[in-house]
Structure 1
Amino acid sequence: MRDLWGIRPSRRSNHDPRPGPRAAEASRYPTPLLTEDTMSTRSRITALIAVSAAGALAACGAPGTAAKTTASANLTSSAATKSGTLTIVTKFADPKYAPYFEKVAADYESANSGVKVDLQQVGDQPYKDKIRVLSASKQLPDIYFSWAGDFANKFVRAGLAADLTSVMGPDTEWGKSFSPAALKAFEYDGKSYGVPINLDAKYMAYNTAIFSKVGVAKPANLEDLIAACGKLKSAGYTPIAFGNQYGWPAIHYITQLNAMDVPQATRDADYNPATGAFTDAGYAAALDQFKQISEACFDSGSNGLSHETAQANFLAGKAAMHFLESVEFSVLTAKGGAPAELADNWDFFRLPPTASAAGDKGALTGAPDGFMVNSGSKNAALAVDFLKFMTSKANGAEMTKSIGWLSSVQGTATAENSFPQLEAALKDISSANSFAIWLDTVTNADVANAYLSGGQGILDGSQSPADVMKSVQDAAAKAKKSVS
Structure 2
Amino acid sequence: MVRYTPSSQSTNPLLGRRAVLRGLLMTAGIAAVPGLAACGGSDSGSSNGTVTFGNNLSDQVPKDAITAALKGFDSDALKVSINTKQHEQYQEQINNYLQGKPDDVLAWFAGYRMRFFAEKGLTGDLTELWSGLGDNYAPALKEAATAKDGKQYLVPFTQYPWGVFYLKSVWTQRGYAVPKTLDEFVALATKMKADGLTPIAFAQKQGWPGMGTFDQLNFRTNGYQFHVDLMAGKEDWQGKKVRDVFDTWKRLLPLHQENALGREWQEAAQSVQQGKSGMYLLGTFVGQQFKGQEDDLDFFPFPEINPEFGQDTVEAPIDGYMMAKNPKNAEGAKKLLQYLAKPETQLEYLKSDPSSIATSTKADTSGYTALQKKAADVIKNAKHITQFLDRDTDPRFASDAATNGLNAFIQNPDDIDTVLKGMADQAKTIFTG
Q: Which TM-score band applies after superposition, normalised by the shorter structure?
A: 0.7 to 0.9
**Cα offsets for 1:381-409 (capped at 9, x unmatched):** 65343212123121111101134453333
Q: Aligned equivalents of 1:196 and 1:13: distance in 2?
A: 17
2:219 to 252, 255, 259: 259
Q: Aligned equivalents of 1:125 and 1:247: distance in 2?
A: 12
How far apart are 1:373 and its partner, in Å? 2.7
Residue 185 (structure 2) aligns with: 225
Query: Would you say 1:352 and 2:310 are equivalent positions?
Result: no
Residue 42 (structure 2) aligns with: none
How far apart are 1:329 and its partner, in Å? 1.9
1:51 to 21, 25, 39: 21
Match of 1:322, as an amino acid?
Answer: Y
Give the stretch that moved more between structures: 346-355 or 432-441. Answer: 432-441
Gaps of 5+ in 2: 32-47
Gaps of 5+ in 1: 1-11, 17-23, 32-43, 62-82
Aligned 8 A contact 1:391 1:409 in 2: yes
Q: Aligned equivalents of 2:97 and 2:170: distance in 1?
A: 53
Residue 373 (structure 1) aligns with: 323
**Cα offsets for 1:130-176 (capped at 9, x unmatched):** 64335335x55443322334432211221233454565489941223
Aligned 8 A contact 2:205 2:262 in 1: yes
SS across alignment from 1:259: helix
1:466 to 401, 410, 417: 417
SS across alignment from 2:320: strand
Query: Would you say 1:450 and 2:415 are equivalent positions?
Result: no
Task: Classify 1:378/1:172 alpha carbon distance in 2 versus 1 (closer, same or farther; 3 Å).
Answer: farther
Q: Aligned equivalents of 1:438 and 1:181: distance in 2?
A: 16
**Cα offsets for 1:58-78 (capped at 9, x unmatched):** 2459xxxxxxxxxxxxxxxxx
Residue 290 (structure 1) aligns with: 249
Query: Would you say 1:420 and 2:370 are equivalent positions?
Result: yes
SS across alignment from 1:203: strand
Length-normalised TM-score, structure 2: 0.77
Query: Would you say 1:317 and 2:275 are equivalent positions?
Result: yes
Aligned 8 A contact 1:413 1:426 in 2: no
Query: Would you say 1:148 and 2:119 are equivalent positions?
Result: no
SS across alignment from 1:108: coil
Task: Classify 1:198/1:459 alpha carbon distance in 2 versus 1 (closer, same or farther; 3 Å).
Answer: same
Residue 119 (structure 2) aligns with: 157
Match of 1:287, as an amino acid?
Answer: F
How far apart are 1:188 and its partner, in Å? 3.5
Task: Classify 1:280/1:392 alpha carbon distance in 2 versus 1 (closer, same or farther; 3 Å).
Answer: farther
Q: Aligned equivalents of 1:161 and 1:428: distance in 2?
A: 32
Query: Would you say 1:136 and 2:93 are equivalent positions?
Result: no
SS across alignment from 1:233: helix
SS across alignment from 1:347: strand
How far apart are 1:301 and its partner, in Å? 4.7
Give the stretch that moved more between structures: 161-170 or 391-400. Answer: 161-170
Give the stretch that moved more between structures: 383-392 or 276-285. Answer: 276-285
2:342 to 384, 389, 392: 392
1:194 to 154, 166, 169: 154
Length-normalised TM-score, structure 1: 0.70
Residue 65 (structure 1) aligns with: none
Q: Aligned equivalents of 1:420 and 1:393: distance in 2?
A: 19
Q: Aligned equivalents of 2:60 and 2:381: distance in 1?
A: 33
Residue 54 (structure 2) aligns with: 89
Coordinate RMSD, CA, aligned: 4.0
Task: Classify 1:415/1:215 alpha carbon distance in 2 versus 1 (closer, same or farther; 3 Å).
Answer: same
Matched ranges for 1:155-194 at <5 A: 155-164=117-126, 167-168=129-130, 172-176=134-138, 183-189=142-148, 192-194=152-154
Match of 1:151, as an amino acid?
Answer: R
Q: Aligned equivalents of 2:383 and 2:331: distance in 1?
A: 30
Q: Aligned equivalents of 1:461 and 1:310: distance in 2?
A: 20
Task: Classify 1:289/1:188 alpha carbon distance in 2 versus 1 (closer, same or farther; 3 Å).
Answer: farther
How far apart are 1:103 and its partner, in Å? 5.5
Residue 284 (structure 2) aligns with: 326
Q: Determine what percentage of the aligned residue pairs are the same residue.
A: 21
Q: Aligned equivalents of 2:298 and 2:322: distance in 1?
A: 35
SS across alignment from 1:355: coil
**Cα offsets for 1:81-124 (capped at 9, x unmatched):** xx7764443324566555654565553342xx554545433333
Matched ranges for 1:197-212 at <5 A: 197-209=157-169, 211-212=171-172
Task: Classify 1:395/1:254 alpha carbon distance in 2 versus 1 (closer, same or farther; 3 Å).
Answer: same
**Cα offsets for 1:386-442 (capped at 9, x unmatched):** 2121231211111011344533334757575x5322332233234444543332454
Task: Classify 1:238/1:97 alpha carbon distance in 2 versus 1 (closer, same or farther; 3 Å).
Answer: closer
Q: How many residues align?
A: 411
Task: Classify 1:266/1:313 alpha carbon distance in 2 versus 1 (closer, same or farther; 3 Å).
Answer: closer
Aligned 8 A contact 2:288 2:353 in 1: no
Residue 383 (structure 1) aligns with: 333
How far apart are 1:241 and its partner, in Å? 2.7
Aligned 8 A contact 2:165 2:298 in 1: yes
Task: Classify 1:370/1:308 alpha carbon distance in 2 versus 1 (closer, same or farther; 3 Å).
Answer: closer
Residue 408 (structure 1) aligns with: 359
How far apart are 1:254 and its partner, in Å? 0.6
Q: Aligned equivalents of 1:151 and 1:395: distance in 2?
A: 24
